[in-house]
Each structure stands twice: as C-alpha cells, then as structure tokens.
Structure 1
Amino acid sequence: MELRHLKYFLAVAEELNFTKAAEKLCISQPPLSRQIVELETEIGARLFNRNNKKTELTEAGKYFEKEVTALFQHLDQITSKTQKIAQNISGEFRIAYISSIYSGVISELIQNLKAVFPYVNFKLFEISTTKQIAALEQGKIDLGIIRSPIKSPKIKSQLWFQDGFSVVYNKSNLQINAEEEISSLKDETFVFFNKEYAPHYHEVLLELCAFYGFTPKVAHESNNINSIVQLVKNGLGISIVPSNIAKNNTDPEMGFIELKKVNLFTDVSLITAKEDESEITKVAVDFLLKKNS
C-alpha cells in the first residue's frame, strides 16, 4: 500500500464519482480505477459499491475514510512540526540560573518564550556559576544566568544588572535599625555561601564585613540562597544576601538592611555560547535585558 492509493481513495470518497475524482487528481479514469481495485485487493475488503448510475461507500469504506482522513491530518501535523524544527523554532532549550535570582523573573521568561515558541520544550536548571560555565562550554545548556566575572573564549557574556547587598536577620532575635549598626554584628553568628560552591561571592562577603570593621563568625554554610534565608528565619544566624533577594521577600519575620555605604556590587550576567545565533536565544536575552532597562 502506497500513499498515492490513500490519496486516490479519499478523492473518490469525496466525489463519489470516478470521472470527477480523476479530473481532480489530473489523471485518467482507468488508472484511477485500477489503483482503487489494487487497494481493495490488498485490504481484502470492498470499499465502494459502484454501478452505471452511482458510486457509494460501503460500511467498510466509510470506516476506512474516517481513519485515513485522521491519518492525513496527523501526517500534516508531523510535517508542520518537522518544518518548525528545521527552522530552529522547536526542540529543546535549556536555561540555567543561580539560586539568588528571583524565580518570578524566570517564570515570566518561560511564559514569554512559550508564547513565541509553542513547540519548544523549555528546561530549567538551578546550577552554580562555575558549573554553568562548564555546562555552556560543553553544550549542555543554551543560556546561563550567573553572578561573577567570567573568562572563557567560548562564551559571550552580557551584563544583566548590578546587585548590591543587604544584611538579613530574624526580627524576633535581633533588631537593626540602621546601616550604622552593622559594625555591632561582630559577635553574631553568620550563615554564608559555601566557599567551594561560590568562591568569588564568598570573598565579596568577607570584604563587606571587613569594610564594617569585623571578621564574621561563620557557623553554617549552604550553596542555596533560599536555604540561607530559611536558616536565618529559623534563628541559626544572620547573613548578607544580594539586595535582589531583599526586594522580593515579603516575609514579615525577616528584616533587611541595605548596605549602601560600601561601594561593592555583584554583576549578574547572561551567558551564551559565542557562536549561538539562534532566534530563541536572542528573544530570551532581549526579554531579560528589557526587564531591567
């Protein structure tokens, strides 16, 4: 059975007239009749009742018409999706981000991309800066959102925004009314990012504490910003987090004091492969850049 047999069958089923169906298919009637006979022989069922006056579908023919019509509709969908993949607007797009980036922005990004590229399967990964760089170099992700300088000949980096820092504490355990009181925290227990997980960020936190005249007593470490905030909420210490976290935290138990006097910032950058010119990447980067313009 070949595809042409099915096309010829549908033409006859629609016209219920071999002469009209042949004209529609731009072939003569005898070859069309032979193709239908071949199809019926292969299936082992009569599809049409035909005489000199009219042509009708048999019950088997009606069922066959329904199923073949559905088959061609599915084939059209397959063809359309294949074309979209070939045009680089389908497939899979992998986005990595660090935990200190507000997830609401990431959610908005996915919603926007899904509206523009409905056939794409978007995947999100929370990965440290160091691992993101390695993953991008190896082609395991398509877009990364990192927090620190980057040096790689294979990667293109664009500054997304500069983020300041804020002290975070549990209001029931501690009261800080102004930035001038930060130096009094020298005897407090701190919760920091793990040094091995984010070495550059860890060093920046130490610099911040040095600016206010003390060395922090780090009792707990984590490689996830949300875990750090939760530890602080549970009364296990205080911490210094990106101001971006403070802006998006509405928990009434938590207090934040922005460190405005110190001239220290962390760059949040968007990274892509240097040779990546895909439309999806361009739309994703443009969307994020506009969110902070």
Structure 2
Amino acid sequence: MELRHLKYFLAVAEELNFTKAAEKLFISQPPLSRQIIELENEIQAKLFIRNNKKVELTEAGKYFEKEVLALFQNLERATLKTKKIAENASGDFRIAYISSIYSSNISELIKHLKEQFPYVNFKLFEVSTTKQIDALEQGKIELGIIRSPIKSPRIKSQLWFQDGFSVVYNKSTIQLKSEEEIPNLKDETFVFFNKDYAPHYHEVLLELCAFYGFTPKVVHESNNINSIVQLVKNGLGISIVPSNIAKNNPDPEIGFIELKKVNLFTDVSLITSKEDDSEITKSAVDFLLDFSK
C-alpha cells in the first residue's frame, strides 16, 4: 500500500464520483478505478458500492475514511515537528502577542534570542487570543502571549503574570483624583475593546463598571489597546485598561487610576504546542518567566 492509494481513496470518498475525483487528482478515470481496486484487494475489504446511478461508501469504507484522515493529520503534524527540529539552528521562529501586553520585555526577549540563536529569523505578530490559539494548533506560530483562559488539548499554557485594571482618562477633560470618584463616571463616554474581537475581556470590563455601580455608555470601540489609549488622549472618552499599560505609558496628557478595591484580574499566559520541545521555545519561555519573578 502506498500513500497515493490513500490519497486516491480520500478523493473518491469526498466526491463520491469517480469522474470528479479523477479530475481533482488530474488523472483519467480508468487508472483511478484500478488504484481503488488494488487498495480493496490489499486490505481485503470492499470500500465503495458502485452502480450506474451513484457511488457510496460501505460501512468499512466509512471507518477507513475516518482512520485515513487521522493518519494524514498525524503525518502533517510529524512533518511540521520534523521541520521545526531541523530549523533549531536556522529558519523562522514566530511569536504572537496581544496589543495590551506589549512592553520592553518582549523587545528584550528578541534581543536575547538573537544572541543565542543568531541564524534564526525571529518574527513578531500582533494577533488576537482566539486567532493565536488557532495559529498555534495549525503550527503557524511557535509561541503565543494571551490574556484569557484557553481549552485546547494540543496547547500548553503557563501563567506569565496577573494583571489588574486601571481607568485611563484625559487629564484636561476629566478631573479624577482617586478610586472613590469612579462612580461619578457613569455619565461619561467610554471606549472599549470590540465585543466580538475580545468577548471575555469585554465582559470583564462590564463587571468592573457594575462593581462601581453603573453601566458604561460605550460609544467607541477598537481592537487595539494603543488605539484605545489614543482615543482617550484625543478626548473622545475614557476607558479601563490593564494596569500593565499604565506602567508602560509615561504620556503626561493622560492619567491612570488603579482599581484596587475590586478583586478582578486577568491572567497573561504563555502558550506553546505540547509537542514542541525545541531549545528555542524553552529559552523564550524561561526568559519571560524570569521577568515575572
């Protein structure tokens, strides 16, 4: 049995039409039929019911299709992992992060990795949490930095740090001196993350406002934390952002009030593939974890 037999079988199983499957495979129909017959003879099982009107999978064929699909998925993962092992000294290493956690730590990480692995091309991508998880499962990134819990059997997650929240406002338009004055913001315009882009984070912001006794009047939305802070700076509203943003933003035109009374935090986590045991990944994770100590 050869891989081509299995590829031909999957094409026919998907199309349930030998003519269409042959066109998809760029071969003529007679050779395709012969390959399927060879496969059936080898495994000693009839895989298709053929007549003049239609082609159907037998029960054995349905089972075989499921197993062959799983086989090709495992083969693809093995191929990707082999490629990553081969690229341990060269190639690309892709790191994704969400906009709300970018800091000098990530820049220092790239410098550290370049010193250790000078022939590797390190790439940074700003990507939402949901898309990071999909990209990591598909082998499109090697390391992700996210701000929300995940559930995936293929991904290993390690807590980097816990982050609190702070109100951010324009000092020239809003007078805010302490956390006790937060309830007075109930009539102000708010700038939030888009609900569809970051649903978990959006819900947390609503919980925070509810704790202080009001429902925010959300007028402007953005998918990028830097855009949110810029909108606040331009006087278009106020917002609630992770306290990490306040620590990394020295702009004198905007102010931050940390919300210490409410016991709400977000976990910032490092995510990697459970199958990834490369030295580069280990070095990257260890470097970032050292910063959180």
Q: Does the TM-score normalized on the shorter chain lie above 0.5?
A: yes
Q: CA deviation at 1:276?
A: 0.5
Is residue 209 of structure 2 the alignment partner of residue 209 of structure 1?
yes
* Secondary structure of residue in 1 paired with 2:236: coil
Corresponding position of 2:116? 116
| Alpha-carbon separation, structure 2, partners of 1:245 and 1:87 | 35
Corresponding position of 1:100? 100
TM-score, normalised with respect to structure 2: 0.70
Q: CA deviation at 1:175?
A: 1.0
Unaligned runs of 5+ in 1: 1-84
CA contact (8 A) 1:173 1:235 kept: yes
Give the number of aligned pairs.
210
CA contact (8 A) 1:89 1:279 kept: no
Corresponding position of 2:196? 196
* Secondary structure of residue in 2 paired with 1:100: helix
Q: CA deviation at 1:90?
A: 1.5
* Secondary structure of residue in 2 paired with 1:110: helix
Corresponding position of 1:287? 287
Corresponding position of 2:249? 249
Letter in 1 for 2:268: V
Q: CA deviation at 1:89?
A: 2.0
Letter in 2 for 1:106: I
Corresponding position of 2:260? 260
Q: CA deviation at 1:86?
A: 3.9
Task: State the identity %.
Answer: 85
* Secondary structure of residue in 1 paired with 2:285: helix
* Secondary structure of residue in 1 paired with 2:104: helix
| Alpha-carbon separation, structure 2, partners of 1:164 and 1:103 | 16
Letter in 2 for 1:288: L
Q: CA deviation at 1:214?
A: 0.2
What per-residue deviation string (whole Å, max 9, x for no partner) do you get for residues 80-114 of structure 1? xxxxx847222110000000013311111000000
Letter in 1 for 2:287: F
Q: CA deviation at 1:202?
A: 0.2
Letter in 2 for 1:143: L
What per-residue deviation string (whole Å, max 9, x for no partner) do you get for residues 49-73 of structure 1? xxxxxxxxxxxxxxxxxxxxxxxxx
Letter in 1 for 2:98: I
Superposed counterparts of 1:154-165, under 5 Å: 154-165=154-165
- Does the C-alpha gap of structure 1 residues 213 and 87 become closer, same or farther in structure 2, counting only changes over 3 Å? closer
What per-residue deviation string (whole Å, max 9, x for no partner) do you get for residues 122-180 of structure 1? 01100000000000001000000000000000100000000000000000000110000
Higher-Rg member (1/2): 1
CA contact (8 A) 1:95 1:142 kept: yes
CA contact (8 A) 1:91 1:121 kept: yes
Letter in 1 for 2:276: D
Corresponding position of 1:151? 151
Corresponding position of 2:275? 275
Letter in 2 for 1:94: R
| Alpha-carbon separation, structure 2, partners of 1:225 and 1:89 | 35
| Alpha-carbon separation, structure 2, partners of 1:262 and 1:110 | 35
* Secondary structure of residue in 2 paired with 1:218: strand
CA contact (8 A) 2:103 2:248 kept: no
- Does the C-alpha gap of structure 1 residues 87 and 204 become closer, same or farther in structure 2, counting only changes over 3 Å? closer
| Alpha-carbon separation, structure 2, partners of 1:122 and 1:289 | 19
* Secondary structure of residue in 2 paired with 1:172: coil
Corresponding position of 2:68? none
Q: Point out 4+ residue stretches in structure 1 off by more than 3 angstroms.
A: none
| Alpha-carbon separation, structure 1, partners of 2:203 and 2:244 | 19
Corresponding position of 2:91? 91
* Secondary structure of residue in 2 paired with 1:88: coil
Unaligned runs of 5+ in 2: 1-84
| Alpha-carbon separation, structure 2, partners of 1:113 and 1:245 | 24
* Secondary structure of residue in 2 paired with 1:270: strand
RMSD: 1.2
| Alpha-carbon separation, structure 2, partners of 1:220 and 1:93 | 36
* Secondary structure of residue in 2 paired with 1:246: helix
* Secondary structure of residue in 1 paired with 2:100: coil
Letter in 2 for 1:165: F
Corresponding position of 1:43? none
Is residue 132 of structure 2 the alignment partner of residue 132 of structure 1?
yes
